Homo-oligomer: A and B are copies of this chain.
Amino acid sequence: MAPEVFAEIDPPQRLLMGPGPVNAHPRVLRAMSADLLGQFDPEMTAYMNEVMALYRPIFGTQNQQTFLVDGTARAGIEAALVSLVAPGQTVLVVDFGRFGLLLGEILARIGARIETVSAPWGQVVELDAIEDALKRVRPSLVATIHGDTSTTMAQPLEGFGALCRKYGALSYVDATATIGGMELAADRWAVDVVSGGLQKCLGGPSGSAPITLSEAAAERIFARRHVERGIVRDDLDDGEGPRIGSNYFDLAMVMDYWSDKRLNHHTEATTMLYGARECARIVLQEGLENRCARHRAAGRAVTAGARALGLEVFGDHRHRMSNVTGLVIPAGVDGEAVRRRMREDFQIEIGSAFGPLQGRLWRIGAMGYNAAKHKVLITLGALETVLRAEGFAAPAGVAVEAALAAWNAELSA
């Protein structure tokens, strides 16, 4: 019997207003339909070099080592940590949500000694608390999340990298949920390594992780260089440091691949690279400041609209992410029933929450191509209807107007 082949691809056109993934910009998807190139074709390596150049301003850096890891955002995190941290080394984790826990989880598997400085979900960690921990722990690396979508909080990073350097530590920031939507300033923050993903504010599909590394970080990693036996070359000396625990995530080899040395490591995911390149072009054509302002306007509009509906906005208001907003599910309302009606009646996806916030929050994202005035307004209008259908007395007609006013106030300010 012939195996079933199913129908051609034809997903429903959902409006993805959750914490990500969001709808990709159509230009990104079109760029991904370009024909493939051989991995060492001069046209391909030229595209790789352009990708490096395009992501430097997005990370706010001049770092030479700025490239893509072939995997989802989580692959970028693990590549950074497994390459930077040898077993037994001490790492200070700044933990204020699920993704802080993830850093610890990955580091435990690497065999790092993990120390943590935490804040409750919905708050961020004070720089003073980080400094106290640095003094006490003397880590070789400090790792933090920038925007943790699980709590919708954004850790302030002004002064963060410089503080780590003061105590002799390198620093790592996971910017998956903020890259392309909130300012990244790797050089000004003096942060050593920042990684991200395409599927949130960059407006692309999941599956490629942009990353940038300072010279100090690259040096630490090259000290652990160990080229595969099958492709050993005279011009690449192995380092003295302990071998990196992963081949795929060995950023020494990946950096050699992205350099003029063109070491033959993995086969670059060409189509994802085309997509990542187009995401970056769109960001830079819009301009980073305009783009951050647009995300800020979207966040203000969601917040204003939600409050007009009578909903409480979650978390420490001084440190909320602009691009994902947590709304407290009112007592007596079935959060999953609301999400289902949003999806089935309006083709709009909004997010639920994890861990201690599970069942307590909805999360509304307005990111990348979806950080658009009309999409925020449509979402709030739909939410108003759905809330009333689920028995919550949302006032009629005020949320959309409040959101529109907030959007306009922000962008004309």
Enumerate chain A interface residues (CB-CB to B < 8 A).
Answer: 2-6, 8-14, 16, 18, 20-24, 29-39, 41, 43-44, 47, 50, 53-54, 56-57, 70-75, 78, 82, 97-99, 101-102, 104-106, 108-110, 150, 197, 199, 205-208, 228-232, 243-249, 264-272, 274-275, 277-278, 281, 284-285, 287, 343, 349, 354-355
Q: Which 6 pairs across A and B sit closest by C-beta, in order of nearness?
A: A207-B269, A98-B230, A205-B271, A101-B230, A3-B57, A29-B33
Which residues on the B side are within 8 Å of A105 (C-beta)?
228-230, 247
The answer to whether B269 and A3 have CB atoms under 8 Å apart is no
* A110 to B, closest residue via Cβ: B245
The answer to whether B248 and A78 have CB atoms under 8 Å apart is yes
- The answer, among B30, B207, B354, for a CB contact under 8 Å with A207, is B207
Tell me whether A37 and B14 are in contact in the complex, defined as CB-CB below 8 angstroms, given that A75-B71, A207-B70 are known contacts. yes
The answer to whether B32 and A29 have CB atoms under 8 Å apart is yes
Copies of this chain: 2
* A204 to B, closest residue via Cβ: B271
Distance A56 CA – B1 CA, assembled complex (angstroms): 14
Which residues on the B side are within 8 Å of A284 (C-beta)?
2-3, 5
Distance A197 CA – B245 CA, assembled complex (angstroms): 23
The smallest C-beta distance from A34 to any residue of chain B, in angstroms, reads: 5
The smallest C-beta distance from A68 to any residue of chain B, in angstroms, reads: 11
* A287 to B, closest residue via Cβ: B2
Beyond the given A5-B281, A16-B36, A29-B32, please list 10 additional residue pairs across the A-B interface where CB-CB is below 8 A. A9-B274, A11-B44, A18-B38, A71-B71, A71-B248, A72-B248, A102-B247, A207-B207, A246-B246, A271-B272
The smallest C-beta distance from A97 to any residue of chain B, in angstroms, reads: 8
Distance A56 CA – B34 CA, assembled complex (angstroms): 29
The answer to whether A267 and B54 have CB atoms under 8 Å apart is no
Distance A3 CA – B232 CA, assembled complex (angstroms): 37
